[in-house]
Structure 1
């Protein structure tokens, strides 16, 4: 089973993504904030990361940079999601994919299956 870590502060979006991706066959771990994610970051490594950009205590782009700079996690695909991010930040983020909010659940599942 492919595993995915999701960092998303909105409880409704977290619930929807968690439910949808579990039904699609992913083992899902969800984190409400950058700090919560970073506390567990080096414990285990998933097959894929899905990061929101605007977090209450950080930035998904910076989390992506930390992941891509980590020796054991650098190869793991990272997908960024946001409603309000300039294109140049996406290009410069080293992310493997981008999903614009609001999103289509089928599109998310397909994108993540291709990357995981």
Structure 2
């Protein structure tokens, strides 16, 4: 379980996956901000930086790899862990954007929770 209400930005356009992630992460004690579009995330990111990012690669109005690059090139968030999710993405592209982890879809929620907590404990 997350301690001290850690925050997580989830960028996921699939409504069902987003709902499941939102529910699961809140149950695990996280403050969750869920974004279905890159544009919505970008607006919020200007004002707030979470403790960790969970980013889908394929979005209707952008690319998760581009968002990862945006996060990693911003001095406010360069050291914040980014976990990239995808059913189709090339893991090499994820490494190029310096994401901490590639999460292949479908994923196990318990394993995902453990991965998130591992990165938060290290940061």
| In structure 2, distance between residues paired with 1:65 and 1:87 | 15
Shift of residue 51, structure 1, vs aligned partner: 0.2
1:36 pairs with 2:37: no
| In structure 1, distance between residues paired with 2:70 and 2:30 | 23
- The residue that corresponds to 1:115 in the other structure is 119
- The residue that corresponds to 1:13 in the other structure is 17
| In structure 2, distance between residues paired with 1:70 and 1:111 | 23
Question: Unpaired segments of 5 or more residues in structure 1?
Answer: none
Shift of residue 52, structure 1, vs aligned partner: 0.1
CA-to-aligned-CA distance 1:69-106 (integer Å, 9 cap, x gap): 00111111100000001122122120011110001000
1:70 pairs with 2:74: yes
SS at match of 1:30: strand
1:100 pairs with 2:94: no
- The residue that corresponds to 1:90 in the other structure is 94
Q: TM-score, normalised by structure 2?
A: 0.92
| RMSD of Structure 2 on Structure 1 (CA) | 0.7
Shift of residue 24, structure 1, vs aligned partner: 0.8
Work out whether residues 91 and 102 of structure 2, in 8 Å CA contact, stay in contact via their aligned partners in 1.
no
1:58 pairs with 2:62: yes
List 4+ stretches of structure 1 deviating above 2 A. Answer: none
